[in-house]
Amino acid sequence: MDSIWKRLLRLLLTMLIVSLAVFSFISFSSGDSSSSVLSEDASEEAVEAYRKAMGLDEPFAVRYLSFLSSFFSGNWGVASDGQDISFLVLSRIPATLSITILALLMSLAIALSLAFLSLRRHTIGRALTTAWAAVMMSSPVFLIAIALVLLLSFQLDLFPVAGYVPLSGGFVRSIRSVFLPSLSLALLHSSLIMLMMRAAVESNLSASYSMVARAFGKGFSRIAAIDASKPALPLLAILSGQSAAAFIGGSAAVETLFAIPGIGSLLVTAALRRDAALAGTLVMLIALSVSCISMAAEAVSALLDPRRER
Amino acid sequence: MRRRVAGLAMMILLLVFSVSFGGLGVVDTSLRLTPPSGTMPFGTDTLGRSLLERVAAGTGTSLFIGGIVAIASFALGILLALCCFIPGFPRRVAFIFADAVKAVPSIVLALFSASLSGPGILSLAVSLSLAHIADIFRTSYSRASAIMKEPYIDAARCAGVGRMRIFITHVLPPLLPYAAMQSVSSFLSAVIGEATLSFLGCGVPVPIPSLGSILSEARSVILSSPWMMFFPASFLLLLGIAINLIAFSLSDPDPASERT
C-alpha cells in the first residue's frame, strides 16, 4: 500500500496527463469550436473575433496553462457556446449520479441473484445464465438500451422513451425517467459481476472451511450464502467500484440515446464541438472521481478482508 | 476447444460475408426504405442504398478495427513490458502512462483522440487500443517480473546468455497465452467501442459504412422500417458472440498457475 501522499501526487499527475492529452487532441485536430458554434456562412471577421474572444488565437502552451490555472483556481471559465462551465457541469451531475446509483444497485441485485440461482453445476439454469451473460457482454450497451425501449416503452408503455425528470419533479417520475438507462447499463455490468462472483463462491465452496461447515450439518444454500460468500465480499467491492467508475462518463451512449442531460452526453457535446476547455475540465473531473471511487473500493475491500491489513 | 473452433468459424464466415457482399451501396432515393425483397435481401436504407452491402461493409470495418486493435495492443503491450527490463528505460513514465489511461473510461479517451489528425479508421483504431496497450503492458510486466526472479533466469545469465536471448527464449513464451487472451477481449471491446462511437456520430467518417452509424440512422425510422435495425444489430451481435466464444475458450490457458 502506497502512502496517501504518494497516491495524491499520482492522482494529480494523472489528471494533468489526461487533460493535456485531451487538450492537445482537440487543439491539434483540424477545425476548432468556431465552426460548430458560428453559422456556416459566418464572415471571416466574425470567426476571427470569436477566436480572439475565446482565446483560440493564442499559442497552445498559453491556452493550456491558462486552462489549468483557471481549473485549479475554481473559476472554470466559459464553454464554446458562452455558458459557464461550472454551472454546466453542476447541472449535469444529478442525472449521472442517479443513473450511477440506480445502475449499481440493479447490477448487484441481478448479478447476485443470478449467481446464487445458478450455483449448481450442470443445470439448465446455469447454462441459461451463462448464455445470457455471454450475449449481454457481446453487445454494445446502446443495443441493449434500444431493445429495452422497444419492449418496455413501445410495447408495454411502462417507461418514458426519453427525457429526464429531476428529483424535484417527484421521486417516482424521476426514477421512472432514469430506469431504462440504468437497467441497460446494469444488464451489461451485472453479467460480468455475476460470472466473477459465481466463480469465486464456487471455488470457496470446495474450500476446507465449507467442508467443515457441511460436516457440522449446515445445508448447501446456507453454506453458499454465508460461509462461501463472505470471503468473496472483497472481490465484490472491487467489482462494484469498477462498474461505478465505468458509469461516470462511460455512459455517454446511453445518456445520449435517452436524451438525458448528464456528464456523458456533455462529453459527447464537447467532443463534437471541439471545446477544449469543457472537455479538459470534464476529463479531469472524471479522472478525479474514478480515482476516488477505486480508492474507496479498495478501502472497503481491505476492511472486508482482515488478511489484507498487514 | 469446440467453442474456439465455432468462434473462429463464425469469424471467418463473417469475414467472407463482408468481403463478398461489402460495398458502399448506390444512392437511389426512389428506393428509400424498401423492405427486404429478392433484389434487396436486407432492404434499403434512408438513401435507398442496399442494406446488405452496407451491413457487410460495416462488418468489415468492425473486423478491421478490431483486428488492428488486437494486434497493436498485443504487440505494443508486450514490447513495452519487456522494454521495462532494459536498464535506462523510463519505466516510471510507462507506468504513469498506464495509470493515466486507466483513470478515464476508454470510450471517453477515444471520443477525443479520434478527432486527432482528422477522422479516420486508423486514428480511431489507435485511440481505441490505448487502454488495451496499458492493460496488456501491466499484466505482462507483472508476470515477466515474476519470471525474471526465477532461478533459471539466473542460470541462463551465468551461462552467458545475452539479455535479448533470455527475453525471447525464457520470458516471452509464458507471457503469450495471457496476452493473447487479453487481446481477444480487446478485439471485442474495440468492435463495441467503434460501434458506440459511430452511433454517437464521433466514429468513422461518413462515407465509410459502420454498423454503429447504420444503427444510429435506423433509430429514427425504427417503427416504420425495423429491418434497418434488425440486420446491423444481428451482425454486431454475431460478431460479439463469435469473439466471446474464442475468448471464453482461451480464458484458462494454464489452470495450474491461476493464482499468480
The predicted-structure confidence for B124-164, as pLDDT tens digits, reads as follows 888 888 888 988 998 999 888 888 888 888 898 899 888 88
Lowest mean pLDDT among A93-102, A135-144, A171-180, B115-124: B115-124
Substitution target in B96, B113, B115 with the highest count of A β-carbons within 10 Å is B115
Instruction: Choose between A121 and B159: higher pLDDT.
Output: B159
A38 in any annotated domain: no
Q: Quote the cell numbers at residue A197.
A: 462472483
A271 in any annotated domain: yes
B227 in any annotated domain: yes
Q: Which positions in chain A touch B118 (Cβ < 8 Å)?
A: 29-30
Assign residue B79 the CATH number of its domain. 1.10.3720.10
A230 in any annotated domain: yes
Assign residue A140 the CATH number of its domain. 1.10.3720.10
Question: Are the Cβ atoms of B97 and A17 closer than 8 angstroms?
Answer: yes
Q: Quote the cell numbers at residue B48.
A: 435507398
Whether residue B254 is predicted with pLDDT greater than 70 in this model: the reply is no
Mean of the per-residue pLDDT values of chain A = 83
Whether residue B260 is predicted with pLDDT greater than 50 in this model: the reply is no
Substitution target in A142, A149, A281, A282 with the highest count of B β-carbons within 10 Å is A142
B195 in any annotated domain: yes
Number of domains comprising chain B: 1
Whether residue A249 is predicted with pLDDT greater than 80 in this model: the reply is no
A158 in any annotated domain: yes
Q: Does B195 touch chain A (CB under 8 A)?
A: yes
DSSP-assigned letters across all residues of B85-140: TSTTS-HHHHHHHHHHHHTS-HHHHHHHHTTTTSS-HHHHHHHHHHHHHHHHHHHH
B157 in any annotated domain: yes
B178 in any annotated domain: yes
B85 in any annotated domain: yes
DSSP-assigned letters across all residues of B196-244: HHHHHT-SS-TTS--HHHHHHHHHTTTTT-THHHHHHHHHHHHHHHHHH
User: What phi and psi, each to the nearest 5 degrees, are found at residue A257?
Assistant: -60, -40
Number of domains comprising chain A: 1
Q: How many CB atoms lie within 10 A of CB A268?
A: 20
A30 in any annotated domain: no
Q: Tell me the residues of chain A between 12 and 31 that have a Cβ less than 8 Å away from chain B.
A: 13-15, 17-18, 21-22, 25-26, 28-30
Question: Are the Cβ atoms of A268 and B233 closer than 8 angstroms?
Answer: no
A6 in any annotated domain: no
How does pLDDT run across B3-42, given as a tens digit for each residue?
Answer: 778 888 888 888 888 888 777 777 777 767 777 777 777 7
Mean of the per-residue pLDDT values of chain B = 82
Residues A276 and B197: their CA atoms lie apart, in Å, by 19
How does pLDDT run across B78-97, given as a tens digit for each residue?
Answer: 999 988 888 888 888 888 88
Mean local confidence (pLDDT), A221-250:
85
Q: Nearest-CA residue of chain B relative to A195?
A: B248
Mean local confidence (pLDDT), A131-156:
86
Q: In the structure, what pLDDT confidence band is assigned to residue A299 with cuts at 50, 70 and 90?
A: confident
Q: In the structure, what pLDDT confidence band is assigned to residue A209 with cuts at 50, 70 and 90?
A: confident
Lowest mean pLDDT among A121-125, A126-130, A233-237, B255-259: B255-259
- Domain residues for A228? 90-276+288-309
Q: Nearest-CA residue of chain B relative to A259?
A: B200
Q: Which positions in chain B touch A17 (Cβ < 8 Å)?
A: 96-97, 100
Whether residue B256 is predicted with pLDDT greater than 50 in this model: the reply is no
DSSP-assigned letters across all residues of A33-69: HHHHHS-TT--HHHHHHHHHHHTTTS-HHHHHHHHHH
Question: Are the Cβ atoms of B111 and A271 closer than 8 angstroms?
Answer: yes
Q: In the structure, what pLDDT confidence band is assigned to residue B255 with cuts at 50, 70 and 90?
A: very low
- Residue A121, pLDDT score: 78
Give me the torsion for CA of A285, A288, A290, A293, rounded to 10°: -130
User: What phi and psi, each to the nearest 5 degrees, are found at residue B220?
Assistant: -75, -20
B42 in any annotated domain: no
- Residue A42, pLDDT score: 66
B33 in any annotated domain: no
- Domain residues for B110? 2-18+52-259
Residues A66 and A60: their CA atoms lie apart, in Å, by 10
Q: Does B139 touch chain A (CB under 8 A)?
A: no
